[in-house]
Structure formats: structure tokens, C-alpha cells
């Protein structure tokens, strides 16, 4: 089954790697966009935020970014200002963001991607930290 899945991915991020691996474990070869190398356009970023049903603040990454230095914790900042910051510093875009026919979601934790996959897992899946997420029959472990 051909399924169009896009993952905005950072290969340095364990959550992003686990999410990508779960997509592949469903037999899907996604379009992988390393967003630090190829950031989305402003219009696309705004569209993805809207389709995910979140606000720009919910997509902001704090850890390992210039979040504090830029004063982004200030709740008076507009959504436009937050998007401007993400455009200027793509590392501020939290990841992984996944687009599928079933929706758009920031997949934190990584197993949130299972809700976006139109096919089930093909077998067991264990995250990099050793946590088993899917059993041998392809069923999600609660």
C-alpha cells in the first residue's frame, strides 16, 4: 500500500529516530525532511501548526535552543513573533512533526505516531532506550 507520510526529522534526536523507525516498522517508506537543513517555508510552517491543531508556542523547543536568550518564554509575544523566531532559528521547531493522510502531529512521545499510521506495525518495536512499545504481534503495548 502506497502511503504518503512526511516526517520533519532531526537525526540527532532520539525521539525523532524512534518515530521514523516506527513508521518504517509499519512497512512505510516516508519522505524524510531534515528540517534543520531544509526548513519549511513560513506559509508551510503556519499551515502545519494549524493542521496539527496547536499554537506556535506548543511547537517551540526549549532544550538546546536559543529559546531563553531570545526571551520566548514571554507570554505577551504574538504567534507571529514565535513563528518569526522559528523561521530565524529552525532548531526552535520541535520534532518530529509527522504529516499523514490521518493528520498532522508533533510526535512526542514517539509512539504518538502510531495514531497517524494507516497500517499496523509489522512486528515488535523497542525504542532506543529499551522501552518496548509494540509486541511481537504488532499490537501497541499500553
Q: Which residues are catalytic?
A: 13
**97 close to 107: Cβ distance less than 8 angstroms:** yes
| Helix and strand numbers, DSSP H then E, in the chain | 4, 6
Map grid coordinates 528540517 to a residue.
Answer: 35
Contacts of 54 (CB under 8 A, 6+ apart): 106
Sign of the dihedral defined by the CA atoms of residues 126, 130, 133, 136, in that order = positive
Nearest one of 63, 42, 45, 67 to 54, comparing CA atoms: 45
Peptide bond into 80 cis (omega under 30): no
Question: What are the two backbone dihedrals, phi and then psi, of residue 78, each rounded to the nearest 5 degrees?
Answer: -75, 165
Amino acid at each position: 500500500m502506497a502511503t504518503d507520510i512526511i516526517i520533519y526529522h532531526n537525526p540527532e534526536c532520539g525521539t525523532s529516530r524512534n518515530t521514523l523507525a516506527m513508521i518504517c516498522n509499519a512497512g512505510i517508506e516516508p519522505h524524510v525532511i531534515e528540517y534543520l537543513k531544509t526548513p519549511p517555508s513560513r506559509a508551510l510552517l503556519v499551515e502545519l501548526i494549524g493542521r496539527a491543531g496547536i499554537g506556535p508556542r506548543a511547537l517551540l523547543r526549549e532544550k538546546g535552543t536559543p529559546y531563553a536568550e531570545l526571551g520566548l518564554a514571554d507570554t505577551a509575544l504574538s504567534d507571529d513573533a514565535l513563528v518569526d523566531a522559528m523561521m530565524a532559528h529552525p532548531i526552535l521547531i520541535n520534532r518530529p512533526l509527522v504529516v499523514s493522510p490521518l493528520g498532522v502531529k508533533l510526535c512526542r512521545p514517539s509512539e504518538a505516531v502510531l495514531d497517524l499510521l494507516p497500517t499496523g506495525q509489522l512486528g515488535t518495536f523497542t525504542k532506543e532506550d529499551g522501552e518496548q512499545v509494540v509486541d511481537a504481534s504488532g499490537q501497541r503495548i499500553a
